[in-house]
Chains A and B, each alone.
Chain A
Amino acid sequence: MPVLRFKAERLMSLIGLKDHAALEDVAFRLKGELEWGPEGEVYIELNPDRPDMYIGEGFARAARGLLGFEAGYTRPEAVESGVEVTARGVETRPYIAAAVVYNVNVDEEYLEELVQFQEKLHDTIGRRRRKVAIGFHDLSKLPSKRIEYRLVDIAEARMVPLHGDSEVTVERVLEETEQGRRYGSISLAGHKHPALLAGGVIIALPPVINSEVTRVEPGTRDLFIDVTGTDAAAVLSTLEVIVAGLSERPGARVGLVKVDAPKVRGVTPRLESRRMEVGASWASGVLGVELGPGELARLLSRARFNAAPRGDGDTVEVEVPPYRVDVLGPIDLVEDAAMMMGYDALEPELPQLRTRGSLDSLTLLARELRKLAVGLGFTEAMQMVLTSPRAVEALGLSGAAVRVANPVQVEYSVLRPSLAVSLLQFLAENQHAEKPVRVFEVGEVVWREGGGVAEDYRAALAFMGEEASFEDVQAPLYSILRILGVAFNAEEAELPWAIPGRAARLLDAEGGELAWLGEVHPRVLEALGIEYPVALAEVSLSAMAGGSGRFRIRGHATR
C-alpha cells in the first residue's frame, strides 16, 4: 500500500493543525497509518481506494472535512485553455485526456510532492503505468498549443529525454534511460512507440518518459497534464484526481483542453459530479444506528460530498465529486458517514441471536487422533505444505507433485504429496536428539490426479531409533484405528519410499485406500541425511471422516 512522505509543517498548515497528536488522530480516522520520520517528515500509509489523498492538498481536503473546518464540494473555476489534443492510431495505448491548471506555482517542496503524486498514481490506479500513465509539463514551455498523440518511428524520431542534454533517437531513449528499460516495452508497437508532439517536437513518450523541453521546475507557474492509457474510463478519472489535487493550490484555475481521441471527444477534464441517492433509514439499517436525513447529509458534507435531504423524510441527495473514484454506490457513502461519526462512536453490539456452533467432523476426528498419538508417545510436528522438491524427489514422489509456477524460494516450491515428506525432513534435523524419536503430523497433502488437483487431509506417524521396525508404527497405528472404530484389511504394497516386502496398505471396509505404512528405504534415508532407521505410517483422515477435507479440482486442458 502506498506510503506518502510529507513535510509535516506543510501538511499541518494545509489542514490547520498545530499539534502532532491531532495529525495522528486524523490519519487514523482517515484509514491512514502514520509514522514520524527524520527532518520534519511524516510518513502516512494510505489505502489504494483514495488516490485523491496522495498529495498534501488532497489529504488536507479530507482532513478539514473530518475536523469540521470545511464541508461539501466546490467545483473548481475553469476556463478555456486553447490547448487542443488530437490522437490517432495509437493502438497499443489508445486513450488520452489532458488538462491545464493555472497558478500551481511550483516550488522545490511542491515539486517533490508532485513527483510523488505521479509515482503513487502510477503504482496504484496506473497499474505500474500499464493501465494509466501521467505526464506533467510546464505550460509556458509548450512549443505549440496544438498537440498530437501518435506513433513515431523509434529509429527516426528524436527527442531530448528528461534531464538529458542532447537530442537522441527514441530508440536510444528506450535503450539507454532507466525508465526506457523499465517501461519501454509496455506500449511498444513493433518499431513504433506512442509519443506526444507539440509543433512537431516530442514532449513526452508515454508511458516512459517526458521530454526535457517542457520540464517542470521550481518557478513553473502553470501545468499542462497528459494522461494516457489502455482504459478510457481510468484515464479520465485519473485526470480528475490530479486536477482536483492541483486546483486546491491558492488561486489555481483549471484550463480546459479540447480532446479529439478514441472514446474521448470534447473537453477534459470533465469536472462532472455524479448524482446519488441514499436513504437515511437504509443507511441506519446498515450501520445499526439511527440517522435522520439531516444528520446523514451533514456527515456526508463533512466527507466533502454535497448532500441535502430531499424533503421526503428519508432520501438524501448526494453530489459525488469527480475525484472520488472509489465511490461505486450508496454503500460507499455509508462508510464515509460512519468515518465522519468516528468508528469509536459506533458502539459494538453483540448479536443476541443464538445459533448452535459445530466443528467439522474432520476436526473432531483429528482431535481424537492427536490425543491417542500423544498417548502413544508421539510428539506433534507442524510443517508447511509448501516444501522442497529435493525432499519430494528423495521419496520418489515427484511425478505426482503439484509445483508452484512462480515460487519465491526453491525450498518452498512444491506442495507435499504426502506427510512422509514432512516427517522425514523433520527427522533429518533431529539426528542428535535422544532416540527413539516419535513424531506425528496432521494436515493437508496435495497431488496431481487425472489432469486435475486432489487434496486430502491426513495424519502420519514416524519412529526413528537405533533400530526401527515395521511394528514400531504398525502397532500404534492399529491401536489408534481400533480405538477409533475403523475396520480395515492389510495387504502387501509397493511404496516408493519403503523397503520392498516391508510395506503395507490398509483398505477400509469398502476397499478404499485408508493407510500406508512401511520401513523407510535406506536409499531415501541417505538422500535426506538420516543416519537412523525410520518406520513410517500415513493414514487418510478424510477417508475416515466421510470425505471431509477431500477436494478434487478438475483441470482444464490449456494450450
Chain B
Amino acid sequence: MPGQGGGASGPGRIPVSEGEYRLLQALARAGVSRGSLEELERATGIPRSSIASLAALLAEKGLARVEAVEEVEYKPSERGRRILEEGAPEERLVRLIAERGGEADLASLASTLGPEAGVAIGEAKRLGLIEVSGGKARLAVEPGEALERASRVRRLLEALARGGRLEPEELEALKRRGLVEESRRKRLIVELAASPLEVLSRVSVEIGRLTHEMLKSGAWRGQPFRAYNVRAEPPRVLPARMHFLAEFIEMLRDIMKEMGFREVRGPLVELELYNFDMLFQAQDHPAREIHDTLKIAEPREASLEGLESLLERVGRVHERGWGYKWDPRVAARLVLRSQTTSVSARLLASRPPEPLRAFTIGRVFRSDTVDATHLPQFHQLDGVEGWSGYTFRDLLGTLKEISERLGLEVRFKPAYFPFTEPSVEGYAHMPGGGWVELFGAGLFRPEVLEMAGVDYPVGAWGLGVERLAAAYYGIRDIRLLYTRDYDYIRSMPARRGW
C-alpha cells in the first residue's frame, strides 16, 4: 500500500514518491541492481514504461544512473527464415540420402533439391557427412549422426529467433552463409547507485495523493507530502453556463422592472392588424410588401371573430387618415411580427387603465439575408408608458434613464415613424467610439390611441437587442450571438459593465 512498509522519514533522507519507493522495494526483493528495462521488467513485474520514468526520477536524485547502450542485434535474414520453415539444404540432402538407403544418384538429388543442390552438397561435404564419387553420393557417418549435424544451422537460427544468445563462432557460421542480418538499437540500462537495500535505507517516501484510506489508517502520519509544481498550468475546464445573450436580455428585463414596468408577452405569428394597421401603417405601405415582411404559408389569414369593435375603429381611422377603402382581409393576414410594437398594440387594444407602464422583450423577424450585421430574426425591447399629462419630455427622461442604467450616454434626434408623433431616435455613444442607434421612440399618434380606444397620451419605444449585446460583449460578427459552438458559449468572458 502507498506509504506503508517503511521508508521512515528522517533528516538527511532523500524524499521519493510512492512509485519510486515501490520500484526500489521490488528490486530489493529480486536482488537486482542493474539491468536493461526489459530485464528489470522481468525481475520486478513493473511495466518497463513505468520503470523508465521512475528510474529517471531516481537518477535526478542521484540514486541511480540511466545510460543508453547501443546494442547490435541479429535476427534471421530472408534465407535464414526459409531454413526455419524448410530446414537447411544440407539437412534435406542428408534426409533424402538416408531415405534411399545411404546412397543416391547425384542427378536425381539435384533435380529434387533444385537450385539449392550445389549449396547442400558443398556444405555436407565440408562437414564430412557425405562422400561423392562416380556420380553418387553416400553418407560418410551414421544416418542419425549425419542428420543431427546437418540440422545444426537450423537449430542455431531457431535459438536466435527465440531471442537467445549465440556464441561468436556460431554467429560467424551463420553470417558466413548470409543467414542473419544485424540491426542496432539503443537500450536503456538502469543501475542503482548502490545495492537496492542500501538505496532504500537512504530514502523516505512522500505522500502524493492523500486518500480516504490513508486518513482511515492514519498512514499519513510522519510522512512528508510531495511538493507540487504549483506554477504549472492545470488542464482546461469550462463551466456549464447560461447563454450570454440570454443573460443580456435578463439584464434588460431587470432594468425595466426596476423602473416600474410590467412585463407582457405576445405571439410571434401575428395579424397584420396588430403589426401594421393599429400602428397606422396604410395597407399599401411598402413595409407590408412581400419582400419586407415574412408571411405564413398556411393558414394565410386569421379569424377576426370577436374583434368587431376594434376593427370598426381601425377602419374608420384609416379611411379618414389615408383616404382609401380599408380592407379587414388585409388586417387578417398572418405575418411573423416585424416589431414587438405589435405586443404594445395588443396591450393598447385591451384598453389598459392609466397609469400605464409595460414592456416586452421578444423575437422579431425580417426579410434579411444572414451576414455579419443582419439576422432574419432578432430581439427587440418595446416599452410603453402613459397617463394623463404625460409629455414628450417625460418620454425623453425615461429613455435617458434607461440609457444611463445601461451605462450609455444618449443623444436625441428627430425621426419618423408612421405611428408616433413627435418621433425621436436615441443615439448612444459607445465606449468603443461612435454613435449607435439605440431607440426608435415617440408619442403614439392620436390616430393610434383612437383605434385602441385609449384616452391618455402614451409614449413608446423600441430597442434592438442584438446590436447592443454584440457591442457589450465586444463581438463584431452578430451571427456569433447565435453560435452553435458549445465551448464558445462556455468560455465567453464575463461582463459586468462596458
Which A440-472 residues have C-beta < 8 A from chain B?
A: 442, 444, 446, 448, 451-453, 455
Q: Are A357 and B262 in contact (CB under 8 A)?
A: yes
CB neighbours of A475 from chain B (8 A): none
Q: Closest Cβ of chain A: how far from B139's Cβ, in Å? A: 69
**Contact string against B for A residues 262-292, beta-carbon threshold 8 Å, 1 for contact and 0 otherwise:** 0000000000000000000000011111000
CB neighbours of B250 from chain A (8 A): 367
**Contact string against A for B residues 364-389, beta-carbon threshold 8 Å, 1 for contact and 0 otherwise:** 01011110000111000000010101
**Contact string against A for B residues 77-91, beta-carbon threshold 8 Å, 1 for contact and 0 otherwise:** 000000000000000
Q: Are B412 and A344 in contact (CB under 8 A)?
A: yes
Q: Are A558 and B300 in contact (CB under 8 A)?
A: yes
The docked-state distance in angstroms from the alpha carbon of A554 to that of B246 is 31
CB neighbours of A331 from chain B (8 A): 421-422, 443, 445-446
Q: Are B396 and A453 in contact (CB under 8 A)?
A: no
The docked-state distance in angstroms from the alpha carbon of A405 to that of B298 is 8
A21 in the interface, Cβ–Cβ < 8 Å? no
Q: How large is the interface on A (under 10, 10 to 19, 20 to 34, 35 or more residues)?
A: 35 or more
Q: Are B393 and A349 in contact (CB under 8 A)?
A: yes
Q: Closest Cβ of chain A: how far from B94's Cβ, in Å? A: 62
The docked-state distance in angstroms from the alpha carbon of A453 to that of B336 is 12
Q: Are B303 and A384 in contact (CB under 8 A)?
A: no
Q: Are A386 and B377 in contact (CB under 8 A)?
A: yes
Q: Are B297 and A404 in contact (CB under 8 A)?
A: yes
CB neighbours of B263 from chain A (8 A): 358-360, 363
A430 in the interface, Cβ–Cβ < 8 Å? yes
Identify which of A152-160, A373-381, A508-516 touches chain B: A373-381
B258 in the interface, Cβ–Cβ < 8 Å? yes
A43 in the interface, Cβ–Cβ < 8 Å? no
- A348: contacting residue among B242, B365, B397, B416, CB under 8 A: B397
Which A418-440 residues have C-beta < 8 A from chain B?
A: 425-426, 429-430, 433, 437-439
Q: Are B393 and A426 in contact (CB under 8 A)?
A: no
Identify which of B98-106, B188-196, B217-225, B264-272 touches chain A: B264-272
A131 in the interface, Cβ–Cβ < 8 Å? yes
Q: Are A350 and B413 in contact (CB under 8 A)?
A: no
Closest Cβ neighbor of B262 among chain A residues: A358
Given contacts A379-B241, A381-B484, A429-B485, contact A357 B357 (CB under 8 A): yes
The docked-state distance in angstroms from the alpha carbon of A351 to that of B458 is 13
Closest Cβ neighbor of A361 among chain B residues: B263
Q: Are A350 and B302 in contact (CB under 8 A)?
A: no
- B334: contacting residue among A31, A347, A356, A553, CB under 8 A: A553
Q: Closest Cβ of chain B: how far from A230's Cβ, in Å? A: 9
Q: Are A425 and B484 in contact (CB under 8 A)?
A: yes
B67 in the interface, Cβ–Cβ < 8 Å? no
Identify which of B142-150, B154-162, B398-406 touches chain A: B398-406
Closest Cβ neighbor of A453 among chain B residues: B269
Q: Are A359 and B257 in contact (CB under 8 A)?
A: yes
- A405: contacting residue among B284, B296, B377, B457, CB under 8 A: B296
CB neighbours of A382 from chain B (8 A): 243, 245-246, 481-482
Q: How large is the interface on B (under 10, 10 to 19, 20 to 34, 35 or more residues)?
A: 35 or more
Output the residue of B245, B264, B265, B447 with the most chain A CB within 10 A: B265
Q: Are A357 and B261 in contact (CB under 8 A)?
A: yes
B259 in the interface, Cβ–Cβ < 8 Å? yes
Q: Closest Cβ of chain A: how far from B373's Cβ, in Å? A: 15
Output the residue of B286, B415, B484 with the most chain A CB within 10 A: B484
Q: Are A556 and B385 in contact (CB under 8 A)?
A: no
Q: Are B376 and A408 in contact (CB under 8 A)?
A: yes
CB neighbours of B246 from chain A (8 A): 370, 380, 382, 442
- A350: contacting residue among B261, B401, B457, CB under 8 A: B401
CB neighbours of A28 from chain B (8 A): 413
The docked-state distance in angstroms from the alpha carbon of A374 to that of B290 is 41
Identify which of B16-24, B163-171, B177-185, B486-494 touches chain A: B486-494
Identify which of A94-102, A163-171, A199-207, A333-341 touches chain B: A333-341
Given contacts A350-B401, A383-B484, A405-B297, contact A446 B268 (CB under 8 A): yes
A-B contact pairs, 14 of them (CB 8 A): A29-B413, A233-B323, A331-B446, A335-B423, A350-B397, A355-B261, A355-B355, A381-B489, A402-B296, A404-B336, A409-B376, A430-B485, A439-B486, A553-B270
Residue positions of A touching B, CB distance < 8 A = 28-31, 47-50, 124, 127-128, 131, 231, 233, 285-289, 328-329, 331-332, 334-335, 338-339, 343-344, 346-351, 353-360, 362-363, 367, 370, 373-386, 402-409, 412, 415, 425-426, 429-430, 433, 437-439, 442, 444, 446, 448, 451-453, 455, 548-549, 551, 553-558
Residue positions of B touching A, CB distance < 8 A = 240-243, 245-246, 250, 253, 256-271, 284, 286, 290-291, 294-305, 321, 323-324, 332, 334, 336, 355, 357, 363, 365, 367-370, 375-377, 385, 387, 389-394, 396-401, 411-416, 421-424, 443, 445-447, 457, 481-482, 484-487, 489-490
